[in-house]
Amino acid sequence: MSVSWRFAVKSLTNDPARWVQEIRQLPPCFQGFTLDCPYPLPQVPASTLSELAALREARDLTYFVHTPVGRIRLGDPEPSVRQTSLEEVKRAIWLAKQVGGRLITVHPTPQLPPHGRQQAEMQQLERAALAELCAYSAGHEVAVALENMQPHGPFPSGYSDFSDLFALVKQIGQLGVTLDVGHAHLASLSPSMLVQRLGRRLWHLHIHDNDGSADLHLPVGWGTVDWAGLVSALWEIGYHGFLELEFQGRAAQLASRRYLETMKLKCNPTPKHYGI
């Protein structure tokens, strides 16, 4: 099985006016760029949209869109909050469509204090909202992927231990997963096992390291993530997507890219069939 993947980096700012400058300074070995959206997402000038689209064509880039963590509440019991969140994500999908973006990553709804209150209702509302967004995004040729979150934070545990996330992916056929490797490591989950379990429902990867104690967003190899296992699992499922490096510092990004590419060249496991 021939396996290839490419590398992306996220914008350093959520200011749309500065995205074009960042892309122009992007080394050619990075073929993906994630637009980190502010909240609320303003109307991006037509001139900026045109420049982003032109740069994508000229540099053969793939764009991704990342919604703000914690600000989007698709499962909120308050109808006005939920509707505002839906409209916000739809604007981000429209932005992706205008610049030729491929995928938008969204996050689960934070819990209401005390934790667990109205959780069953929130899960149902979130499922309905995600299904609506997937239907909307399909008409714009943009994929929707839900990200796993770090444990012991404001998000329900089912989105860190994957119990709720797996259930949603089974229930919504058009929903994919953005696997955040650092978050999975904090939850004491094997990223390679998750890759095998997700199979073709794995649509994007957030790459960063940590020592298992905090969400440090370190370069690859600076923590205790099993990168060899992850690379082997990606090979086994035939992953052809992007690895988005979610840490700053161009030198560290370049070194991490080389590290993972070298590891892939040494990897030649037997292809297997996995997936939900």
- The secondary structure of 68-124 as a DSSP string is PTTT--TT-SSHHHHHHHHHHHHHHHHHHHHHT--EEEE-PPPPPTTTTTTHHHHHH
**142 within a domain of the structure (yes/no):** yes
Q: What is the pLDDT of residue 259?
A: 96
Whether residue 272 lies inside any domain: the answer is no
Write the CB contacts of 130 (distance below 8 Å, at least 6 apart in sequence). 74, 106, 144, 146, 168, 172, 175
Predicted local distance difference test score (pLDDT) of residue 275? 76
Question: Cβ neighbours of residue 139 under 8 Å, at least 6 residues apart?
Answer: none
**Residue 135 belongs to some domain of the structure:** yes
CATH of the domain at 36: 3.20.20.150
Give the per-residue pLDDT at 2. 53
Tally of domains within the chain: 1
Domain assignment present for residue 271? The answer is: no
Question: Consecutive 10-residue runs of the chain (276 residues): their mean pLDDT?
Answer: 82 96 97 97 96 97 96 96 97 97 97 76 96 97 98 95 96 98 98 96 98 97 97 94 97 97 80 68
Contact 275, 199 (CB under 8 A): yes
pTM reported for the whole predicted model: 0.96
Please name which of 9, 19, 8 lies closest in space to residue 41, comparing C-alpha atoms. Answer: 19
- What's the confidence (pLDDT) of residue 20? 97
Question: Residue 276: its pLDDT value, please?
Answer: 75
In the chain, the largest separation of any two C-alpha atoms, in whole Å, equals 52
* pLDDT at position 126: 96
275 in a structural domain: no
Non-local (6+) Cβ contacts of 40 within 8 A are 88
Q: Which residues contact 198 (CB under 8 A, 6 or more apart)?
A: 169, 177, 179, 237, 274, 275, 276
- 273 inside domain: no
Q: Which residues form the domain of 44?
A: 6-265
